[in-house]
Amino acid sequence: MSGPGDPPGDRELAARIAAGEERAFVIAYDRHAHFVFGSVVRFLGDREAAAEVAQDAFVALWRRAGQFDAAAGSLLTWLLGIARNRAIDRLRAESRRPLRLAISLDAPTVDADGLDRPSQLETGRGPAADRLDALRPEPGPEAVVQRRWLQSLVRTAMSELPESEQRALTLAYGGGLSQSEIAERLGWPLGTVKSRTRRGMAHLRARLVAVPGLVDEAALDDAGTDSGLRSGGVRREGEP
Protein backbone atom coordinates (compact mmCIF):
# COMPACT_ATOMS: atom_id res chain seq x y z
CA MET A 1 0.00 0.00 0.00
CA SER A 2 1.12 3.57 -0.59
CA GLY A 3 2.20 5.74 2.31
CA PRO A 4 0.39 8.95 3.25
CA GLY A 5 0.66 11.42 0.38
CA ASP A 6 2.22 8.89 -2.00
CA PRO A 7 0.48 8.27 -5.34
CA PRO A 8 -1.24 4.86 -5.33
CA GLY A 9 0.49 2.01 -7.12
CA ASP A 10 -1.17 -0.05 -9.83
CA ARG A 11 -2.31 -2.85 -7.51
CA GLU A 12 -3.92 -0.45 -5.04
CA LEU A 13 -5.44 1.67 -7.79
CA ALA A 14 -7.04 -1.33 -9.51
CA ALA A 15 -8.39 -2.62 -6.19
CA ARG A 16 -9.97 0.74 -5.42
CA ILE A 17 -11.51 0.92 -8.90
CA ALA A 18 -12.86 -2.61 -8.50
CA ALA A 19 -14.50 -1.44 -5.28
CA GLY A 20 -16.27 1.32 -7.25
CA GLU A 21 -14.13 4.30 -6.21
CA GLU A 22 -14.54 6.95 -8.89
CA ARG A 23 -11.61 9.02 -7.60
CA ALA A 24 -9.25 6.08 -8.22
CA PHE A 25 -10.59 5.73 -11.76
CA VAL A 26 -9.93 9.45 -12.41
CA ILE A 27 -6.35 9.02 -11.19
CA ALA A 28 -5.83 6.08 -13.54
CA TYR A 29 -7.35 7.99 -16.42
CA ASP A 30 -5.21 11.09 -15.83
CA ARG A 31 -2.11 8.91 -15.50
CA HIS A 32 -2.52 6.77 -18.62
CA ALA A 33 -5.10 8.19 -21.06
CA HIS A 34 -2.64 10.36 -22.99
CA PHE A 35 -0.29 7.45 -23.74
CA VAL A 36 -3.11 5.05 -24.64
CA PHE A 37 -4.77 7.55 -26.97
CA GLY A 38 -1.46 8.65 -28.50
CA SER A 39 -0.49 5.07 -29.31
CA VAL A 40 -3.86 4.20 -30.83
CA VAL A 41 -4.13 7.36 -32.94
CA ARG A 42 -0.67 6.67 -34.39
CA PHE A 43 -1.71 3.08 -35.11
CA LEU A 44 -5.09 3.84 -36.71
CA GLY A 45 -4.37 7.29 -38.14
CA ASP A 46 -7.88 8.34 -37.14
CA ARG A 47 -8.48 10.56 -34.11
CA GLU A 48 -12.19 9.81 -33.78
CA ALA A 49 -11.68 6.06 -33.96
CA ALA A 50 -8.74 6.28 -31.56
CA ALA A 51 -10.83 8.22 -29.03
CA GLU A 52 -13.48 5.48 -29.15
CA VAL A 53 -10.88 2.74 -28.70
CA ALA A 54 -9.26 4.53 -25.76
CA GLN A 55 -12.70 5.02 -24.20
CA ASP A 56 -13.41 1.29 -24.61
CA ALA A 57 -10.16 0.48 -22.79
CA PHE A 58 -11.08 2.65 -19.81
CA VAL A 59 -14.64 1.36 -19.72
CA ALA A 60 -13.12 -2.13 -19.51
CA LEU A 61 -10.93 -0.92 -16.64
CA TRP A 62 -13.97 0.36 -14.73
CA ARG A 63 -15.90 -2.85 -15.29
CA ARG A 64 -13.11 -5.40 -14.95
CA ALA A 65 -10.50 -3.83 -12.69
CA GLY A 66 -10.75 -6.87 -10.45
CA GLN A 67 -9.17 -8.94 -13.23
CA PHE A 68 -5.99 -6.87 -13.20
CA ASP A 69 -2.95 -8.86 -12.05
CA ALA A 70 -0.02 -6.65 -11.07
CA ALA A 71 2.30 -9.67 -11.23
CA ALA A 72 1.62 -9.95 -14.97
CA GLY A 73 2.50 -6.34 -15.82
CA SER A 74 1.67 -2.71 -15.24
CA LEU A 75 -1.77 -1.14 -15.46
CA LEU A 76 -0.64 0.75 -18.55
CA THR A 77 0.37 -2.52 -20.19
CA TRP A 78 -3.05 -3.98 -19.35
CA LEU A 79 -4.83 -0.97 -20.85
CA LEU A 80 -2.63 -1.03 -23.96
CA GLY A 81 -3.41 -4.73 -24.47
CA ILE A 82 -7.14 -3.98 -24.45
CA ALA A 83 -6.68 -0.95 -26.73
CA ARG A 84 -4.59 -2.93 -29.19
CA ASN A 85 -7.22 -5.67 -29.47
CA ARG A 86 -10.01 -3.12 -29.92
CA ALA A 87 -8.02 -1.25 -32.57
CA ILE A 88 -7.34 -4.44 -34.53
CA ASP A 89 -11.02 -5.37 -34.28
CA ARG A 90 -11.85 -2.02 -35.92
CA LEU A 91 -9.45 -2.74 -38.77
CA ARG A 92 -11.01 -6.15 -39.34
CA ALA A 93 -14.56 -4.80 -39.15
CA GLU A 94 -14.12 -2.28 -41.95
CA SER A 95 -13.77 -3.75 -45.40
CA ARG A 96 -11.46 -0.98 -46.60
CA ARG A 97 -9.05 -1.30 -43.67
CA PRO A 98 -6.98 -4.19 -45.09
CA LEU A 99 -5.79 -1.77 -47.77
CA ARG A 100 -4.34 0.40 -45.00
CA LEU A 101 -2.20 -2.50 -43.80
CA ALA A 102 -0.43 -2.58 -47.13
CA ILE A 103 0.80 1.00 -46.91
CA SER A 104 4.37 1.75 -45.94
CA LEU A 105 5.24 1.32 -42.29
CA ASP A 106 6.78 4.78 -42.57
CA ALA A 107 3.36 6.38 -43.04
CA PRO A 108 2.91 9.89 -41.61
CA THR A 109 2.27 10.15 -37.92
CA VAL A 110 -0.97 11.70 -36.71
CA ASP A 111 0.08 14.17 -34.04
CA ALA A 112 -1.95 14.96 -30.95
CA ASP A 113 -3.41 17.97 -32.76
CA GLY A 114 -4.78 15.65 -35.45
CA LEU A 115 -2.54 16.88 -38.26
CA ASP A 116 -0.86 14.37 -40.55
CA ARG A 117 2.83 15.08 -40.86
CA PRO A 118 6.00 13.00 -41.18
CA SER A 119 7.19 11.76 -37.81
CA GLN A 120 10.26 13.46 -36.36
CA LEU A 121 11.67 9.95 -36.02
CA GLU A 122 11.54 9.43 -39.77
CA THR A 123 13.60 12.49 -40.67
CA GLY A 124 16.82 10.76 -39.63
CA ARG A 125 16.24 7.56 -41.58
CA GLY A 126 19.29 6.83 -43.68
CA PRO A 127 20.07 4.81 -46.82
CA ALA A 128 21.54 1.94 -44.80
CA ALA A 129 18.16 1.26 -43.20
CA ASP A 130 16.51 1.34 -46.62
CA ARG A 131 18.98 -1.22 -47.96
CA LEU A 132 18.33 -3.49 -44.98
CA ASP A 133 14.58 -3.22 -45.57
CA ALA A 134 15.07 -4.32 -49.17
CA LEU A 135 16.79 -7.52 -47.99
CA ARG A 136 14.11 -8.48 -45.46
CA PRO A 137 11.38 -10.95 -46.48
CA GLU A 138 7.96 -9.44 -46.90
CA PRO A 139 6.15 -9.75 -43.55
CA GLY A 140 2.72 -11.36 -43.27
CA PRO A 141 -0.36 -9.35 -42.27
CA GLU A 142 -0.10 -10.23 -38.56
CA ALA A 143 3.57 -9.28 -38.47
CA VAL A 144 2.76 -5.98 -40.22
CA VAL A 145 0.09 -5.20 -37.63
CA GLN A 146 2.40 -6.07 -34.74
CA ARG A 147 5.28 -3.99 -36.08
CA ARG A 148 2.99 -1.06 -36.71
CA TRP A 149 1.63 -1.29 -33.16
CA LEU A 150 5.12 -1.43 -31.65
CA GLN A 151 6.17 1.55 -33.77
CA SER A 152 3.16 3.47 -32.49
CA LEU A 153 4.23 2.80 -28.90
CA VAL A 154 7.82 3.88 -29.58
CA ARG A 155 6.66 7.06 -31.31
CA THR A 156 4.31 7.89 -28.46
CA ALA A 157 7.09 7.40 -25.90
CA MET A 158 9.35 9.59 -28.04
CA SER A 159 6.74 12.34 -28.12
CA GLU A 160 7.00 12.63 -24.34
CA LEU A 161 10.67 13.59 -24.52
CA PRO A 162 11.92 17.17 -24.62
CA GLU A 163 12.57 18.26 -28.20
CA SER A 164 16.33 18.38 -27.59
CA GLU A 165 16.39 14.71 -26.57
CA GLN A 166 14.25 13.76 -29.57
CA ARG A 167 16.71 15.49 -31.90
CA ALA A 168 19.71 13.77 -30.32
CA LEU A 169 18.08 10.33 -30.54
CA THR A 170 16.90 10.86 -34.10
CA LEU A 171 20.37 11.75 -35.34
CA ALA A 172 22.12 9.08 -33.27
CA TYR A 173 19.88 6.10 -33.86
CA GLY A 174 18.05 7.08 -37.02
CA GLY A 175 20.82 8.93 -38.84
CA GLY A 176 23.64 6.77 -37.50
CA LEU A 177 25.77 9.80 -36.61
CA SER A 178 28.52 9.64 -34.03
CA GLN A 179 28.22 11.82 -30.95
CA SER A 180 30.89 14.16 -32.30
CA GLU A 181 28.98 14.51 -35.58
CA ILE A 182 25.78 15.31 -33.71
CA ALA A 183 27.59 17.91 -31.61
CA GLU A 184 28.96 19.53 -34.77
CA ARG A 185 25.64 19.49 -36.59
CA LEU A 186 23.62 20.91 -33.71
CA GLY A 187 26.28 23.17 -32.25
CA TRP A 188 26.08 21.46 -28.85
CA PRO A 189 28.94 20.54 -26.52
CA LEU A 190 29.83 16.85 -26.78
CA GLY A 191 28.89 16.29 -23.13
CA THR A 192 25.42 17.69 -23.82
CA VAL A 193 24.89 15.28 -26.70
CA LYS A 194 25.91 12.34 -24.51
CA SER A 195 23.68 13.29 -21.60
CA ARG A 196 20.61 14.02 -23.74
CA THR A 197 20.98 10.77 -25.66
CA ARG A 198 21.42 8.80 -22.44
CA ARG A 199 18.40 10.43 -20.77
CA GLY A 200 16.22 9.89 -23.82
CA MET A 201 17.03 6.19 -24.10
CA ALA A 202 16.55 5.69 -20.35
CA HIS A 203 13.06 7.19 -20.64
CA LEU A 204 12.13 4.99 -23.60
CA ARG A 205 13.29 1.80 -21.93
CA ALA A 206 11.55 2.67 -18.67
CA ARG A 207 8.33 3.50 -20.50
CA LEU A 208 8.29 0.44 -22.74
CA VAL A 209 10.02 -2.27 -20.72
CA ALA A 210 6.76 -3.94 -19.64
CA VAL A 211 5.11 -3.84 -23.08
CA PRO A 212 4.77 -7.31 -24.68
CA GLY A 213 6.96 -7.50 -27.76
CA LEU A 214 9.30 -4.78 -26.54
CA VAL A 215 10.56 -6.42 -23.37
CA ASP A 216 13.44 -7.90 -25.31
CA GLU A 217 15.92 -5.20 -26.32
CA ALA A 218 16.33 -6.69 -29.80
CA ALA A 219 12.59 -6.19 -30.34
CA LEU A 220 12.88 -2.58 -29.20
CA ASP A 221 15.76 -2.17 -31.63
CA ASP A 222 13.68 -3.60 -34.48
CA ALA A 223 10.62 -1.48 -33.77
CA GLY A 224 12.85 1.52 -33.28
CA THR A 225 14.68 1.01 -36.55
CA ASP A 226 11.41 1.13 -38.46
CA SER A 227 10.45 4.28 -36.59
CA GLY A 228 13.76 5.94 -37.39
CA LEU A 229 15.14 4.97 -33.97
CA ARG A 230 17.73 2.26 -33.53
CA SER A 231 18.98 1.61 -30.00
CA GLY A 232 21.96 -0.44 -31.10
CA GLY A 233 23.25 1.85 -33.82
CA VAL A 234 25.22 4.61 -32.14
CA ARG A 235 28.79 4.83 -33.32
CA ARG A 236 31.21 5.58 -30.53
CA GLU A 237 34.18 7.84 -31.13
CA GLY A 238 36.85 6.04 -33.15
CA GLU A 239 34.55 3.33 -34.48
CA PRO A 240 34.04 2.94 -38.25
**Helix ranges (DSSP H) in the chain:** 10-18, 22-44, 47-64, 75-93, 97-101, 127-135, 141-159, 163-169, 179-186, 190-208, 217-226
Question: Is position 105 within any domain?
Answer: no
User: Does one domain contain both 16 and 90?
Assistant: yes
Cβ-based neighbour number of residue 43 at 10 Å: 27
pLDDT at 134: 54
**50 assigned to some structural domain:** yes
Contact 178, 188 (CB under 8 A): no
Q: Please write the tens of the pLDDT for every residue from 2-21.
A: 555 678 999 999 999 999 99
Could you tell me the pLDDT band of residue 233, with boundaries at 50, 70 and 90?
very low
Answer yes or no: is pLDDT of 40 > 90.
yes
Domain-located, residue 81:
yes
Is the CA virtual torsion 179, 122, 79, 28 positive or negative?
positive
Residue 164 lies in a domain: yes
Q: Kindly write down the DSSP assignment for every residue of 131-143, as one continuous string.
A: HHHHHSPPPPHHH
CATH number of the domain at 141, please: 1.10.10.10
Q: Last residue of some domain: 62, 81, 97? A: 97
Could you read off the pLDDT of 118-134 as tens digits, one per residue?
444 444 444 444 544 55
β-strand partners of 109: 117
Give residue 149's domain range: 124-226
Q: Mean pLDDT, to the nearest integer, of 73-84?
A: 94
Query: Is the confidence at residue 52, as pLDDT, over 70?
Result: yes
pLDDT score for 213: 60
Return the pLDDT at 208.
85
- Per-residue confidence (pLDDT) for residue 2, from 0 to 100: 54
Work out the mean pLDDT of the chain and round it to a whole number. 77
Task: Give the tens place of pLDDT for each residue, 97-153.
Answer: 444 443 333 333 444 444 344 444 444 444 444 544 555 556 677 888 888 998 899
Q: How many domains does the structure of the chain reveal?
A: 2
Distance CA 12, CA 119 (A): 37
Give the per-residue pLDDT at 206. 87
Q: What is the pLDDT of residue 179?
A: 93
Above 60 in pLDDT, residue 71? yes
- Does any domain span residue 78? yes
Does 226 have pLDDT greater than 70? no
Q: Is residue 231 part of a domain?
A: no
Orientation angle between helical segments 141-159 and 217-226, nearest 10 degrees = 90
Residue 239 phi, psi (nearest 5): -85, 150
Are both 89 and 128 inside the same structural domain? no
Of 97, 115, 146, the position where a domain reaches its end is 97
221 lies in the same domain as 147: yes
User: What CATH number should be reported for the domain holding residue 91?
Assistant: 1.10.1740.10
Res 216 pLDDT > 50: no
* Confidence (pLDDT) at 211: 72
- pLDDT tens across 158-214, in order? 999 999 999 999 898 878 899 999 999 999 999 999 999 999 999 988 888 867 666
CB under 8 Å to 198, separation ≥6 — which residues? none
